[in-house]
Each structure stands twice: as C-alpha cells, then as structure tokens.
Amino acid sequence: MSPMAPGCAPHGALVRSRFTVRIPDGDRTVWFNSATGCSLRLRQDQSRLLDAVLDRACSPGEDPVPGSTRPGDLTLVDHLVRAGFLVPRGHDERRRPHQSYLDARRDRSRLVVAVAPTLSCNLNCSYCLQQGMRRQGRMTSEIQDALVELVDHSAPGLEHLFVQWYGGEPLVALDVIERLTRGFLRLSAQHGFDYQAGMLTNGVLLERGACWRRLRDLRISRLQISLDGLPATYARRKGLPPPRAASFYRFLVRELETMAARLDRIVLRINVDRDNAAEACAVVDLFADSGVTSERLEFRLGRLDDSIEVPGCIPHDCLARREFDDEYARFRTHLRERGFRVFGGPEPLDWFCGVSLRSHLAVDPEGRIGSCQAAVGSSHATFAVLHPGDAARTRREIDVAARPFGDDDPFTSLRCRDCELLPACLGSCPRSADVHGGPCHARQELEREIVTFSRG
C-alpha cells in the first residue's frame, strides 16, 4: 500500500469512498483512491476480498478476516480507513478537496509569473507552437520596469514569487532576464518574500560564455531542456548543423552532473512522435553510459500533437494518446532499469494548471498579460496589459478581467463532478477538455498512468 498521512478511525459505519476506482491490468487489479493517492495492486482473489469488504458496512477495528490480525495490530479495515478506501457513512468527501481547490485559486500569498523576455529563437523547431507568431523583438526596459512595478504593487501579503522564464528562447534575451532578476531580488529584500525562478530552454546557449554557471546567481533552481532524440534527429528537427548538435550533446554529457548539483531539478524533455519514439530510451542510455547519475535529473517524454493547428509547422506522424501512454510506460521501466529516479505519479491536486489561479500570470515581450503559458504571445489569450508608471491600473485590470476558463470549477461542472478520479485530475487542461461528449481522454490517460506506476 502506498504511503499516506495517518488518519483517525471514525465512529459508526464505514462505506466505500466515492473516490475509489479499480482498473484491470492483466491478471491483476489496481485499486486507487484519488483523494489520498493511495494504490493497491492485487491478485484477483485479493481483489474480490477487498471488493466484498468495501461493499459491506464495516466498523472501525473490525477484522473482516477472522484470525488474520494479531491482538493490538491494525486490522484490514483500519488500513483501508487510513488509505481512504473506507469513509464514514454520510461523510462529504467532496468538501475538503473542493475547498483546497478554491483556496488555491484565491491564494494571494504566492505569485507565479511566466515571462517571455523575447519570442525570438536561435533555432527553428519543426513543431514550434509559435511558428505563426511574430518572433522578433524583446521586452523593452519600459515594459520591464512596469512588470517590476506590478510585483511591487502586489507585494503586500506576498510570501513567494516564482518566475518561469519562457519564450521563444529566453536565453536570447539574457540581459533582460538579468535586469528583471535584479529588480525582483530588490523587491524580495525590501518586502521579505521568497524569490525563485525556473526556465524552459532548448539549452544550446547554455554553453556560450559558460552561461549555465550563472543560473544560480539568477535564482534559477529548475531547468527544462528540450531534446528530440539522438544528435542526428535533434539536428534535423531543430534546424542545426549535425556537428553543432553533436557538440551540444557532448556539452550536456560533460556538464550535466555539475549543473544538477547547482540546481534543484533539471528536466530533459524528449519530444516524440512515431518516427523518433524508439530513440527516447537511447537518449537515456547515452547519459547513463557516460556516468550521468544525478538524482536531480528527471527524464520526461513530450507528445507532439498535430491536433493543434499552428501555421508553419511541419507535419509530424504524431502518436495517438494511447500509443504515447504505452511508450511512456516502457520509458519509465527503462529509466528504472538504468538506475534513474522516476518522478511524479498520480496524487490529489490543489490545482491542475495556472489558468484557474488568480495569482498566475503569463507576460509576453509587449506587456500583454494572460494566464496560459502555452498561449503566451497570442492576442486571443490576453486579458490585461502592463501600464508603465501605473501599476494600480494594471492590477485593477487583472482583478476584474474575465479570464478564459478563469471561472471553471471541476467540482460543479457536469463533465467532472461525479468522476471517481476528480481530486487527482481536476478536469485536466481546460483548453483541451472534452466538451463534445464521448470518452473522457483525461480519465483514460490518468487510468493508464495509475496502472503504470502501480507496476513499480
């Protein structure tokens, strides 16, 4: 049974939790409670016994299998209560996760800002989501100052500021990042809030002038680098000369351990379709065989998705959702075999993505403000703008704006409210939600993820 926070056995009859789901997996059944994140992987005879126990009205401390528990030990029922599979009859299981969701949405103590200092890029990825956007220009000093002023205006009650550097390629505008960071650090010292940052980058410019050694000074604690397979595939999809791609991979092999020691987390995201999915494990082997073993290194797969119409993108032979999930399952198994830690796993969430949070902003180089990081730089996702010299006006616009999906509540929506997996899914991405009926792809993906992680 997965670890869980200890709970107290309630008084009165116990019944099956509404957030319990069972998923067949060959000759085993996986039981999962989405309110606690606890899971069980059982043989069929064990699963039938558990089903019978959950279907009857048990009492705390009851031993449904006489003689199976020594005096003084917790009974099966006690364990099921602690894991969340059994709850008191009449208990409102939705109230606590719903309140946590509402609290997170209204929380002003934490401000998350995704900042694109430029939409320019040093590469030409075939699948770039911003192919159809104007990709020149960088954030002016006037807009930079307006952003710092907005944070200053938002500082009362602020405890944590997290900035996600994004693009384009953010390192193309390293001077903008440095200037904004100085402003944020000054406000951090002045108002007493914590400041940290992360960055999404193609990584190629990290080598220039030993740029990567400056990340910690910029308070960047999390770094995600996108890859596309082995160097030859990377060169083809990024529009790089093959020798330059090979040099970049040699740089990563040489410096990744040192980089990871200076940061909290480095994510290598391998973007895959049917043509290069088999290379994902080979990328892991490349680093493992070179002695890269850091526990702060996380490998992820990214699914290229041609259902999003982006002008200028080169078509890819994209994996269907189920195909991608199967590839991911094999990938996680390979990571374990090579000694790498597998991060994540299904668990209850307070929020799924930033569009539902009042304290999550995405700012493009022109000072347009939205909430969806993936849509930064697009006018249709903008609900406010930075007003230089008038942070109060900017703040008012943000507070009164009708945000896209800003009022979505999965706990009250017809699509999600009765789902057994609700606390661990929260409706998934609202931009790609299933609104036309039929199977819920978010549920299908989560069930496959639950099964994959249950296999150890």
Task: Determine the pLDDT at residue 1.
Answer: 45
pLDDT, averaged across the chain: 88
Q: Indicate the pairing of strand 14-16 with strand 86-88.
A: antiparallel
What pTM was computed for the model?
Answer: 0.86
Identify which has the larger pLDDT, 365 or 401.
365
Identify which has the larger pLDDT, 269 or 377.
269
Cβ contacts of 367 within 8 Å, gap of 6 or more: 139, 143, 146, 147, 385, 386, 388
Residue written as token pair 């990377």: 234
Is residue 76 included in any domain, yes or no? yes
Q: From the DSSP assignment, how many helices (H) and strands (E) are in the chain?
A: 12, 14
**Band of pLDDT at residue 356, cut at 50, 70 and 90:** confident
Eight-state DSSP code of residue 430: G
Closest to 343 measured CA to CA, from 447, 453, 258: 453
pLDDT (mean) for 334-344 = 91
Residues 271, 302 contacting (CB under 8 angstroms): yes
Task: Determine the pLDDT at residue 450.
Answer: 93
DSSP codes of every residue in 294-323: -TTEEEEEEE--TTS--TTPPP--PPPHHH
Tell me the three state secondary structure of residue 343.
coil
Task: Determine the pLDDT at residue 326.
Answer: 86
Residues 166, 373 contacting (CB under 8 angstroms): yes
Query: Is 196 exposed, middle or buried, given 0-12, 13-18 or 19+ CB atoms closer than 10 A?
Result: middle
Task: Determine the pLDDT at residue 293.
Answer: 92
- Whether cis (ω within 30° of 0) applies to the bond prior to 302 is no
Is residue 313 included in any domain, yes or no? no
Angle between helices 44-55 and 76-83 (to 10 degrees): 80
**Band of pLDDT at residue 100, cut at 50, 70 and 90:** very high
Tokens of 91: 């208990």
Query: Is 367 exposed, middle or buried, given 0-12, 13-18 or 19+ CB atoms closer than 10 A?
Result: buried
Task: Determine the pLDDT at residue 9.
Answer: 39
Task: Determine the pLDDT at residue 75.
Answer: 78
Residue written as token pair 């539902």: 356
Is residue 74 included in any domain, yes or no? yes
Is residue 41 included in any domain, yes or no? yes
Residues 155, 203 contacting (CB under 8 angstroms): no
Task: Determine the pLDDT at residue 11.
Answer: 42
Q: What does the pLDDT look like over 128-177, one tens digit per residue?
A: 766 555 556 799 999 999 999 999 999 999 999 999 999 889 999 999 99
Counting residues of the chain whose pLDDT is more than 90, the rounded percentage is 64
Quote the CA–CA distance of 274 and 304 in Å, as a whole number. Answer: 9
Quote the CA–CA distance of 123 and 208 in Å, as a whole number. Answer: 15
Is residue 89 included in any domain, yes or no? yes
Task: Determine the pLDDT at residue 445.
Answer: 86
Residue written as token pair 């199967």: 326
**Band of pLDDT at residue 7, cut at 50, 70 and 90:** very low
Closest to 242 measured CA to CA, from 251, 252, 232: 232
Residues 58, 14 contacting (CB under 8 angstroms): yes
Task: Determine the pLDDT at residue 353.
Answer: 81
Task: Determine the pLDDT at residue 63.
Answer: 62
Amino acid, single-letter form, for residue 394: T
Quote the CA–CA distance of 224 and 247 in Å, as a whole number. Answer: 19
Quote the CA–CA distance of 334 and 344 in Å, as a whole number. Answer: 16
Q: Indicate the pairing of strand 297-303 with strand 265-272.
A: parallel
Is residue 6 included in any domain, yes or no? no
Task: Determine the pLDDT at residue 152.
Answer: 98
DSSP codes of every residue in 188-229: HHHH--EEEEEEEE--GGGGGGGGGGGTGGGTEEEEEEEE-S
pLDDT (mean) for 87-111 = 94
Beta bridge partners of 268: 225, 299
Domain extent for 57: 14-93
Q: What does the pLDDT look like over 32-91, one tens digit per residue?
A: 999 999 999 999 999 999 998 898 867 666 666 555 555 555 678 888 999 999 999 999
Residue written as token pair 């946590």: 100
Q: Report in angstroms the alpha-carbon separations of 384 from 156, 355, 377.
A: 21, 14, 13
Task: Determine the pLDDT at residue 84.
Answer: 96
Beta bridge partners of 113: 163, 361
pLDDT at 2 over 50: no
Quote the CA–CA distance of 19 and 410 in Å, as a whole number. Answer: 14
Tokens of 358: 């009042």
Cβ contacts of 186 within 8 Å, gap of 6 or more: none
Is residue 389 included in any domain, yes or no? no
Task: Determine the pLDDT at residue 64.
Answer: 61
Q: What does the pLDDT look like over 124-138, one tens digit per residue?
A: 887 776 655 555 679
Residues 218, 184 contacting (CB under 8 angstroms): no
Cβ contacts of 154 within 8 Å, gap of 6 or more: 108, 111, 395
Q: CA gyration radius for the chain?
A: 24
pLDDT at 221 over 80: yes
Identify which has the larger pLDDT, 324 or 316.
324
pLDDT at 428 over 70: yes
State the total domains in the chain: 1
Query: Is 356 exposed, middle or buried, given 0-12, 13-18 or 19+ CB atoms closer than 10 A?
Result: buried
Residue written as token pair 């993936």: 374
Question: Highest mean pLDDT range out of 125-134, 195-204, 344-353, 408-417?
Answer: 195-204
Quote the CA–CA distance of 83 and 449 in Å, as a whole number. Answer: 19
